[in-house]
Amino acid sequence: MSVLDQIKDATIIGNQKGVAEFTNQALAEGVRPATIIQEGLIPAMATVGLKFKNGDIFVPEMLVAARAMKAGLEIIKPLMVETDMKNVAKVVLGTVKGDLHDIGKNLVGIMLEGAGMEVIDLGVDISPEKFVAAVKTHKPGFVAMSALLTTTMPNMQAIIEAFEAEGLRDSVKVLIGGAPVSEEFADKIGADGYADNAASAVDKIKEFLD
């Protein structure tokens, strides 16, 4: 079994120590950082996402696999040069103002990174003004926002309206998610898409990229 296959298998089962060890081994053997990501970590998280969608694993297992993938990424990131790997897409991510929930958001961020995307995670309790500033600064193709409380859901619409007021709406695709959020709500507030879990969020962005 190649070291890339070992990285992949360790990631899928959530073996953080194994992923770190095999990643270091791969680097010692002269495998390029981008190759480790593209042929080890990304296929692993694609498998994890598929298993989740098929009901073979659940959120706890998905989180463990995501953390294992992160262990590999943290070793590789400092070694990456700008030209070594082109990001598939750039995504600004955040939980909306008034909402402090971050487990789902963090999982989405890790899954997006695992799919080769650059993620700018703003954190929680993020105002429309901060989302606007992030879009102006980072110029992402996508904005993904979450809300776990019905009382904070209207802030999603406020963010979209802020983008419109600043002339930014056409430059980004807006995706929303979170337990109380629905496809119907996404349509109502003018979002571009809705994802009910982290794996679906990755698929949704990939649909826009195809």
Note whether 107 and 190 are same-domain residues: yes
Instruction: Give the pair of three-digit tokens for residue 163.
Output: 């983008």
Query: Where does the pLDDT of residue 119 fall: very low under 50, low under 70, confident under 90, or very high at 90 and above?
Result: very high
| Residue 92 confidence (pLDDT) above 60 | yes
Decide: helix, strand or coil at residue 93. Answer: strand
Query: Where does the pLDDT of residue 87 fall: very low under 50, low under 70, confident under 90, or very high at 90 and above?
Result: confident
User: How many other C-beta atoms lie within 10 A of the C-beta of residue 35?
Assistant: 14
For 193, phi then psi, to 5°, come to: -170, 165
Structure confidence at residue 55 (pLDDT)? 94
Instruction: Give the pair of three-digit tokens for residue 189.
Output: 């507030």
What is the per-residue pLDDT across 39-74, written as a single tens digit (0 to 9) for each?
A: 999 899 989 989 998 999 998 998 899 999 999 989
CA–CA separation, 191 and 173 (whole Å): 8
- The candidate with the shortest Cα–Cα distance to 89, out of 64, 114, 106, is 114
Note whether 197 and 119 are same-domain residues: yes
Give the CATH number for residue 39.
Answer: 1.10.1240.10
Mean pLDDT of 9-19: 97
Note whether 127 and 175 are same-domain residues: yes
Note whether 14 and 118 are same-domain residues: no
Mean pLDDT of 173-195: 97
Structure confidence at residue 83 (pLDDT)? 45
Angstrom distances, CA of residue 80 to CA of 42, 85, 138, 145, 156 = 16, 8, 19, 28, 34
Decide: helix, strand or coil at residue 56. Answer: coil
Out of 79, 104, 139, a domain closes at 79
Structure confidence at residue 18 (pLDDT)? 97
* 142 residue type, one letter: F
Angstrom distances, CA of residue 56 to CA of 19, 51, 189 = 22, 5, 33
Structure confidence at residue 84 (pLDDT)? 55
| Strands of 193-194's sheet in order across | 118-121, 90-95, 142-146, 173-177, 193-194
Note whether 147 and 194 are same-domain residues: yes
Structure confidence at residue 86 (pLDDT)? 64
| Residue 82 confidence (pLDDT) above 80 | no
Q: What percent of the chain has pLDDT over 90?
A: 74
| Residue 115 confidence (pLDDT) above 80 | yes
Q: What percent of the chain has pLDDT over 70?
A: 97
Residue 201 lies in a domain: yes
Residue 147 lies in a domain: yes
CA–CA separation, 104 and 44 (whole Å): 20
| Residue 137 confidence (pLDDT) above 90 | yes
Sign of the four-CA dihedral 198, 200, 204, 210: positive
First to last CA, the chain: 32
Note whether 119 and 163 are same-domain residues: yes
> Which residues are CB-contacts of 118 (< 8 A; sequence separation ≥ 6)?
87, 89, 90, 91
Q: What is the pTM of this model?
A: 0.77
When divided into structural domains, the chain yields a total of 2
Note whether 12 and 103 are same-domain residues: no
Structure confidence at residue 85 (pLDDT)? 60
Note whether 193 and 123 are same-domain residues: yes
Domain containing residue 158:
90-209
User: Which of 81-90, 128-137, 147-156 has the weakest average pLDDT?
Assistant: 81-90
Give the CATH number for residue 145.
Answer: 3.40.50.280
